[in-house]
Structure 1
Amino acid sequence: MSFPTGFQSMTRRSLLGGIAASSALVVLHPFAARAQANQAHLRIMETTDIHVHVFPYDYYADKPNDTLGLARTASIIDAIRAEAGNSMLIDNGDFLQGNPMGDYIAYERGMKEGDRHPVVKAMNVLGYDAGTLGNHEFNYGLDFMFKVLAGAGFPYVCANLTKGQLASDPKKDELFLKPYVIVEKQIRDGSGATSPIKVGFIGFVPPQIMVWDAKNLEGKAQTRDIVDAAKAWVPAMKEEGADIVIALSHSGIDGSGSSERMENASLYLAGVEGIDAIFTGHQHLVFPGPKDFEGIAGADAKKGTLMGKPAVMGGFWGSHMGLIDLLVEKDGKSWKIVDSTSEARPIYHRDEAKKVVADFKDKPEVTAAVKEEHEATLAYVRRPVGKTSAPLYSYFALVADDPSIQIVSNAQTWYIKDMLKEGPYKDLPVLSAAAPFKAGGRGGAEYFTDVPAGDIAIKNVADLYLYPNTVQAVLITGEQVKNWLEMSAGMFNQVPAGAKDAPLLNDSFPSYNYDVIDGVTYQIDLSQPTRFDKDGKLVNPDANRIVDLKFDGKPIDPAQKFVVATNNYRAGGGGKFPEIAGDKVIFVAPDTNRDVIVRYIVEQGTINPSADANWSFKPVPGATAIFQTGPKARQFASAVKGAKIEDAGDGENGFAKFRLVL
């Protein structure tokens, strides 16, 4: 097959270099090259979990960041389209919240009828064919979300978000959006002839939004199980003439077995008859890839298939472009898939020194469309609200009591005590649960809170608390406080006596589920196995990682009542902590946790964020453990309270390695 005018074959390495140099040279995908007269190459491109990251800029650190940004992902779309015979572009959700630009638009500027959100402006430049909703689209309320969606130049679909109660038949549900859309596209086959193909896109959101955003959705919406909705609507798409059905699943990949209202249901969604390919997201991981999903039955992490069907998860914040390439063949009047490949293509790489190197430049049309909002966001995040007498950092938040968590807990305790001072709970002790949100991990070696002593601006508060959660308080017993901490202790691997440099952190445990509870003192015994599994189920009844748990200097009374300040996610059952759910909630605040932190700092004027070392690890004879954190941690290591930490050299991917002496 001849190449289009102006293009010639080349290697992938020279392709990348050519794109970076704005060259017009590209290489065709093999499907485009080998397609016969009745065959065509169709490439479908995915962005997912953009979280308002249009510019390659970290607003929290107030500096550019080459690992993120839709403007960077967008810069390769033209070249990726040129590699393909035919192409389409979709977004898989979580585009509306996640950085200060999202908060600035929602809380400061607002959305009037006819306004276009900056992310939508960027997407409209790129010519998307369809999109679906992620869970974070609901963080600012339904009215705000629908004003944003109204500005999109492409359809949004969601098959499992209903108005009010569920009907007996999913197809009778009253939905907020169309469950699917069928896009008729003219495609060119191997002979150069064009003919139409009908591509159906159906969308799904995690059912857990009813817990995570109950304040915005309760009484207004309901969600249906993802797989159940697919089984109802996919046959209707086929009946309507869809040649190919593509699932846009803002849901991850979990191989633990299918269950009702599953959060990460994409593997089992792929098993629904009639679905031909599946785009996934939500987990902020990469599929196909070398490590994230190995060993899951039904998921081929090398080839990029789920239940034998092509699938992809394109990272997060614009870090990758997800690609599913289909070789389709005309069978009479309809098309069918005869071959496929999947790829998650990154926008950057790390050199031999583990330094981030950008592979692509910004797409000027995208940055120009959002320039005004970007500059307004910079002014917004730079406003000072108070001072701190000591640095605020999260480099050791997972291994010792930490100033970045301490200040959040101080603010939550201050707020809840004031809110409950006149009511029936005024005489109960108030504890506070808070977790580190920026603790490295998948976010990389620079993904840590680091605020120097001096002025604190809004950007610093947003850095301390990434999400627009609202404050809630729960009423629980001393026994439930202990189990809350036992669940949190799943952050750590078991370290037996005498172990040398054992891996400390459980990489599959999200840092946002590692709650530190202030107001009590305790130790964590790593020689014990975990008491609960990741779903909050009791798996080791005799295990007690939480030891020496005290309140007011005395062993905690299992029957004593405590008020615990937390956020709507945890109070509503997020993270599946045992016995922590909506029935324990006694106070629902109108304020976000971030707003409370700002108010606390404003009232205090100057805050003292020093950690009170209310928790530590119980000594394990002869044992040491290794963990990774940011290299800037070295300047703070000597100040860590309650833990003996030693520099252990360089880690992987730009991290620094430290040894915890137990």
Structure 2
Amino acid sequence: MHQRSRRLTALLSAVLLAGCASQPQPHATAQAPKLPEGLRADVAVLETTDIHSNLLSYDYYKQKADPTLGFERTVTLIRKARTQFTNSLLFDAGDTIQGSVLADYQAQVQKIGCGQELAVYQSMDAIGYDGGTIGNHEFNYGLPFLSQVTGTPMNVDGGTTQPCAGPRYPLVLANVDSMRDGKPIFKPWTIIERKIAAFTPDGSQLSVPLRIAIIGFTPPPIMQWDKQNLQGKVTVTGVVEAAQKYMPEIQAQHPDLVIAILHGGMNNSPYTPDMENGGWYLAGVPGIDVLLMGHEHVDFPGPRFAHMQDVDDQRGYVRGVPAVMGGFFGKDLGVIRLALVRQQDHWVIDKTKTFSQVWPICPPMMVGGKPTISASNCAPADPQIGQVVGNVQQQAINYVNTPIGQSKLRMSSYFADEGDMSALAPINAAQIDYTRKELPATHPELANTPVLASAAAFRTGFGGPDDYTDVMPGALTLRSAADLYFYPNTLSAVKLDGQGVKAWLEQSAERFNQIDPHASGEQQLINVKYVGYNFDQIQGGIAYVIDVSKPVGQRIVKLTYQGKPLSPTQTFIVVTNNYRANGGGHFPGLDGSNVVLAAPDGTREILADWLKAHPTLDAKDLPHASWHFARLKTHGAVVFTSASGKQSIAEDDGLHDIHQLRDNGDGTAVYSIDLSQ
């Protein structure tokens, strides 16, 4: 038995060595030795996604360790999986280089040179990846930076023409092409070859080749979200169209597996080429064997997708294709246990033994009958990552602690959805001030047009009980500005009439569920399907009331400007960010066509400069809260969830109608809001 296995292994090795002596030909696999029928192999396909450069378990805004996130803990799970599975492959689904203070420091402050590798790629190379794709946030710092740090020469304006230091694994992207030559800015697909352990029906182990094709996709709406970085430089194709374009090329190479790496989730509403989350449709493209997803910051398999057609949210299948989406910020590892069997000279996925899982770095513990995250139950950090990035991490921390002023106010987002605008008011004040100074230079005819400003609370608990903005009274630093304004957006201003302003507010008010005043049970105030960063709140002499008893589209009442009813025809300049102004969130009237100011400056930097100009920040420096809920007496309690123990903050900010009902035991609590007050 063992002699036969050794002879077959030797034969395979000899043929492979002979094949390595020349360049691979399109049909090189036809020359490979025939593998035994019924040969089996288990391959773990591991996935990270949406790391957002959260390499270490650290909260830059609160300046303390946070064991519930961080790539250094995901690495511990990767090593565990590699021990558990004889064969494994590791891929990343994008949103990798942006999203933390460390990322901004290397991109915008202490910019790395061509010969330096980005910290996140250093960390990923330390553990070893097999491939990855490009997420939408990779484009936030512009194509020149992306070209440099990925080591990818690009034939685009400002693109690096020389190969710089990038990751040591291939990056693939099939749906973004240069406008100069119509060619992809990254390799659209590639084939990687690995040796795997396989077993014959009689139990003999063989070392055999496995050829895996990987193809990558980014969300088509990047052309809206990063218009200032991409317009006139690249074009974007729908994910299905791009897959259909390149699949014939891939299949001509006869790979054993085709893995689609999509920076996107799933939406099975009617398909369009600009669909943000096209995973459901991509899974239906013939020839794709495995689907890796991201972008949505949720887990698959998981209950979010329980009722989606042709989706198995327990075993992890999308239209019959094994799939996984592994969380965000290094909180999880996606794992597909791929069972392969050799049939008719091909590897076939045995779907009776193939399934997907998401491994959390902090498995929930049952406390009082409820799943609860406890730091004591989190995977330990792998020490290698801290060794790799420790120096630049400390430099970034030192930088964001640069003093910029003082504040007499506490600015937080614990109750931003309920009317506490303390964390939004300084953003809106800075945006208005900047626009009033800069707009007349390019549009003198608009110099006397009223300027409003819109901001949303980016951190409202989605990532857990610490995922809130909270700037304490006292010294302000650059870290404070980064806490108040989380993303590296640039400032944009649009021209709208009063009707357009109202339509903007109406869509923002979709953040709330419709409340039935006659219902006797508890009603949830927040519509969790409407993300917090799309709940824009507008200030600048405007005032309005939100009536949550009314249906969507009819909730903005008593809308005034400077104390008078807002005219539908009055002209306004509304300051926002480039994401929103160019169509992000699909707000009515916002598609980039009415932008009158596209600032080169980042909103965070504009905010920091404004704070420096107000060295002792007080309430008199900020615009008043612009909205409140319509009075509504309800039979049952109207409730929402926020961080536990924060009722006093609501009271200090004038929200006396909010009361903590019960502690959830996981750092969060259920609060009630009395809408009748």
Q: Residue 339 of structure 2 corresponds to which residue in structure 1?
A: 327
Q: Residue 438 of structure 1 corresponds to which residue in structure 2?
A: 459
Q: Residue 27 of structure 1 corresponds to which residue in structure 2?
A: none
Q: CA deviation at 1:268?
A: 0.6
Aligned residues of 2:225 and 2:579 also touching (Cα < 8 A): yes
Structure 1 residues 508 and 165: alpha-carbon distance in aligned structure 2, compared to 1, 3 A threshold: farther
Moved more, 328-337 or 241-250: 328-337
SS of the equivalent of 1:162 reads strand
Q: CA deviation at 1:622?
A: 3.0
SS of the equivalent of 2:305 reads coil
Aligned residues of 2:539 and 2:625 also touching (Cα < 8 A): no
Q: Residue 25 of structure 1 corresponds to which residue in structure 2?
A: none
Aligned residues of 2:647 and 2:659 also touching (Cα < 8 A): no
Gaps of 5+ in 1: 1-34, 167-172, 532-543
1:212 matched to 2:225? yes
Quick one: distance in 2 between partners of 1:285 and 1:569? Answer: 21
Deviations 1:98-147 (A, max 9, x none): 01001100111112111110000001111100010000001111111122
Structure 1 residues 296 and 652: alpha-carbon distance in aligned structure 2, compared to 1, 3 A threshold: farther
Q: Residue 669 of structure 2 corresponds to which residue in structure 1?
A: 656
Matching residue within 366, 384, 400 for 1:365: 384
Aligned residues of 1:402 and 1:611 also touching (Cα < 8 A): no
Q: CA deviation at 1:641?
A: 2.9
Q: Residue 530 of structure 1 corresponds to which residue in structure 2?
A: 552
SS of the equivalent of 2:210 reads strand
SS of the equivalent of 2:284 reads coil
Q: CA deviation at 1:355?
A: 4.7
1:379 matched to 2:374? no
Quick one: distance in 1 between partners of 2:420 and 2:361? Answer: 36
1:181 matched to 2:190? yes
Quick one: distance in 2 between partners of 1:456 and 1:37? Answer: 66
Quick one: distance in 2 between partners of 1:638 and 1:196? Answer: 65
Question: Which residue type is aligned with residue 373 of structure 1?
Answer: V
Q: Residue 24 of structure 1 corresponds to which residue in structure 2?
A: none
Quick one: distance in 2 between partners of 1:165 and 1:344? Answer: 41
Q: Residue 211 of structure 2 corresponds to which residue in structure 1?
A: 198
Q: Which has the larger Rg?
A: 2
Q: Residue 82 of structure 2 corresponds to which residue in structure 1?
A: 81
Deviations 1:535-571 (A, max 9, x none): xxxxxxxxx2000000010000000000001000000
SS of the equivalent of 1:348 reads coil
1:282 matched to 2:301? no
Aligned residues of 2:47 and 2:92 also touching (Cα < 8 A): yes
Matching residue within 371, 384, 405 for 2:424: 405
Alignment of 1:136-535 (within 5 A): 136-150=137-151, 151-164=166-179, 173-190=182-199, 191-289=204-302, 291-339=303-351, 340-353=354-367, 354-357=372-375, 358-422=377-441, 423-440=444-461, 442-500=462-520, 501-519=522-540, 520-531=542-553
Matching residue within 633, 644, 668 for 1:621: 633
Quick one: distance in 2 between partners of 1:622 and 1:303? Answer: 42
Quick one: distance in 2 between partners of 1:241 and 1:351? Answer: 46
Deviations 1:573-598 (A, max 9, x none): 10000111211100110101100100
Quick one: distance in 1 between partners of 2:493 and 2:533? Answer: 18
Alignment of 1:568-607 (within 5 A): 568-607=578-617
Quick one: distance in 1 between partners of 2:270 and 2:231? Answer: 29
Q: CA deviation at 1:165?
A: 7.4
Question: Which residue type is aligned with residue 131 of structure 2?
Answer: A
Aligned residues of 1:350 and 1:653 also touching (Cα < 8 A): no
Deviations 1:376-423 (A, max 9, x none): 111112111111111111111001132001111111111111112452
- What root-mean-square deviation, in Å, do the aligned CA atoms of Structure 1 and Structure 2 show? 1.7
Matching residue within 529, 539, 558 for 1:548: 558
Question: Which residue type is aligned with residue 155 of structure 1?
Answer: P
Aligned residues of 2:238 and 2:272 also touching (Cα < 8 A): no
Q: Residue 608 of structure 1 corresponds to which residue in structure 2?
A: 618
Deviations 1:476-496 (A, max 9, x none): 000010010000000000002
Question: Which residue type is aligned with residue 420 of structure 1?
Answer: L
Structure 1 residues 593 and 108: alpha-carbon distance in aligned structure 2, compared to 1, 3 A threshold: same
Quick one: distance in 1 between partners of 2:42 and 2:656? Answer: 58
- TM-score normalised by L of structure 1: 0.90
Question: Which residue type is aligned with residue 523 of structure 2?
Answer: A
Q: CA deviation at 1:242?
A: 1.0
Q: Residue 125 of structure 1 corresponds to which residue in structure 2?
A: 126
Deviations 1:8-30 (A, max 9, x none): xxxxxxxxxxxxxxxxxxxxxxx
Moved more, 563-572 or 249-258: 249-258
Quick one: distance in 1 between partners of 2:438 and 2:404? Answer: 22
Equivalent pairs, count:
609
- TM-score normalised by L of structure 2: 0.88
Deviations 1:318-339 (A, max 9, x none): 1110011111122344322123
